[in-house]
Amino acid sequence: MELTILNKIDLPIFKRNPQDKLKLNLQEVFNLWSLLQTRYKNVEAIQILRNFIHDRDLQIVVDQVMEEYQRQMAQSENDVESFEVKMMERPPVDVKTSQPVEALSDGFIFVRIYEFVRNDLFHLSRTVRTTTTNDRLRSIFRSFLTAQLDIFELLVKYGKIKEWLDIAPTYKTARAVGKEKLDVAEAYHLVEHITLRYDQIQLTKFFASFAHDPEYAAILKAGLHTLEAQVKRLEKIMLEMEVPLPKRPPVSVKTPADPETIEDVFTYRTIYRGIQEAVDLHLRAIVESTQNDSLRQLFSDFFSVELDINDKLIKYGKAKGWPHQQPLYVSQT
What CATH code is carried by the domain that includes residue 274? Answer: 1.20.1260.10
Task: For residue range 108-125, list pLDDT tens digits in order.
Answer: 999 999 999 999 999 999
Number of separate domains in the chain: 2
Under-50 pLDDT residues of the chain: 1-5, 18
Identify whether residues 217 and 260 lie together within a single domain.
Answer: yes
Contact predicate 150/304, CB 8 Å: no
Identify whether residues 21 and 150 lie together within a single domain.
Answer: yes
| DSSP reduced 3-state for 163 | coil
Predicted TM-score (pTM) of the model is 0.89
Identify whether residues 113 and 198 lie together within a single domain.
Answer: no
Residue 156: domain span: 16-162
Identify whether residues 131 and 193 lie together within a single domain.
Answer: no
Task: For residue range 249-308, list pLDDT tens digits in order.
Answer: 888 766 666 667 789 999 999 999 999 999 999 999 999 999 999 999 999 999 999 999
Please report, for residues 135, 211, 224, 234, the alpha-carbon distance to residue 220 in angstroms, rounded to integers and kept in the order given: 22, 9, 6, 21
Identify whether residues 193 and 259 lie together within a single domain.
Answer: yes
Distance between alpha carbon 203 and the CA centroid of its chain, in Å?
23
Identify whether residues 213 and 258 lie together within a single domain.
Answer: yes
Identify whether residues 27 and 146 lie together within a single domain.
Answer: yes
Contact predicate 140/75, CB 8 Å: yes
Identify whether residues 141 and 231 lie together within a single domain.
Answer: no
Amino acid 36: pLDDT: 96
Contacts of 147 (CB under 8 A, 6+ apart): 68, 71, 72
Q: In the listed set 129, 162, 195, which residue is the last one of a domain according to the structure?
A: 162
Contact predicate 109/47, CB 8 Å: no
